[in-house]
Structure 1
């Protein structure tokens, strides 16, 4: 048997109310912004580390 992504299979589960559905979207939007900020912070941290290493090499 071939295993893989099942297409067109209806997802079972309780249907959400309109308000709940809207809130879910809002939550996700906030998360996306946060993820971008984390990436930027990581890059900044790496850049600062590189700078420190550069100073050591010059010595």
Structure 2
């Protein structure tokens, strides 16, 4: 999961998009949540799984 890793942000958002995200995340009102999210997604013991759902409309 590269959502909050610097490398993943650069790949997904590009250079300027990453700069904007970091700038907004480090604003006073966002800083605590941004740091919490960053540490959660970059902690080596966190193993995130996913659930895939597929539905089909009956014909």
What is the TM-score with the length of structure 1 in the denominator?
A: 0.29
Q: Which has the higher contact order (CA 8 A, sep 6+)?
A: 2
